[in-house]
Amino acid sequence: MPPRSRGRDDATAVKPDTASPSREQTRQRVIDAAIDLLTRAGRDAVTTRAVADAAGLQPPAIYRLFGDKDGLLDAVAEHGFAAFLATKHVDPDPRDPIEDLRAGWDVAVEFGLAHPALFTLMYAGPTRTTSAAFKAGMEILMGRIRRLAAGGRLRVDEELAAQIIHATARGAVLTWLSLPQDRRNPALLATLRECMVTTVTNQEPAVKDPGPAGAARALRAALPEQTDLSSAEQHLLAEWLNRLAADG
């Protein structure tokens, strides 16, 4: 991966300090100041000097805490993922897994519309797969998808389903934010959500259909709970199920 580009205010990048209680308080103050600048004036306003001034610090303190401007922006994005994670509701056994999927999609879009500048920072660039909060959020999403698969309601592969759900939610928010106020039609969001649901799910369990792909996805979703098979047998069965599921 090529090194990240540095702005002029990042030329003196240093390794961040090890965390301590007082440093963590200062660090959070800086993150809050950066989010305020981001919200009021956009990403270009988030310079190390401006953030330092807003937080009542000298610019070198930013380098000691975050390494450089990119490190600061990564910390702001991580704060956003943690705030988003706090809005998620997890039902381990929803009565209707498709409605649960709709509700999760709505939560993501509502967060993005409520925090447009932060959401854009979080999702407009490359996915921050090292973010602990992002990983936790993905586990929630994958849990929803596995429940759909286990019930024979998943129309596509689990990984593809996750990508479609993410793409439609992000696209809905970013498209909405790009539109003038007088062209923002709520039907756009509802239509995109229903397109996602139609593409990803079966309205009736796939086991009732003649094709084997849906049944393979359902069995594959339950495979990690299977204890009667050896690891080699599970691996072989998973390979067969992956082939069958891909044919759907």
How many beta carbons lie within 10 A of that of residue 132, not counting itself? 11
CB-count exposure of residue 31 (10 Å: 0-12, 13-18, 19+): buried
pLDDT at 12: 46
Of the listed ranges 21-25, 139-143, 234-238, the least confidently predicted one is 234-238
What angle in degrees, to the nearest 10, is found between the helix axes of 21-41 and 48-55? 120
pLDDT at 102: 96
pLDDT at 131: 85
What percentage of residues in the chain have a pLDDT greater than 70?
76
Q: Which of 18-22, 124-128, 161-165, 208-212 holds the top average pLDDT? A: 161-165
How many beta carbons lie within 10 A of that of residue 229, not counting itself? 13
3-state secondary structure of 3: coil
What percentage of residues in the chain have a pLDDT greater than 90?
62
For residue range 65-86, list pLDDT tens digits in order.
999 999 999 999 999 999 999 9
- What would the two tokens of residue 86 be? 């706090």
DSSP result, 21-54:
HHHHHHHHHHHHHHHHHHHHH-GGG--HHHHHHH
Cα dist from 102 to 158, 184, 192, whole Å: 16, 21, 11
State the chain's maximal CA–CA distance in angstroms: 68
Q: All domains of the chain, ordered by start, with CATH? A: 11-67 (1.10.10.60), 82-203 (1.10.357.10)
Averaged pLDDT score across all residues of the chain? 84
Q: What distance in Å separates the CA atoms of residue 213 and residue 168, rounded to the nearest whole number?
A: 24
For residue range 169-219, list pLDDT tens digits in order.
999 999 999 999 999 999 999 999 999 999 999 877 755 444 566 666 666
Q: What distance in Å separates the CA atoms of residue 182 and residue 114, rounded to the nearest whole number?
A: 18
Query: End-to-end CA distance of the chain, in Å?
Result: 35
For residue range 2-43, list pLDDT tens digits in order.
444 444 444 445 555 545 668 899 999 999 999 999 999 999
- What would the two tokens of residue 217 be? 């996805």
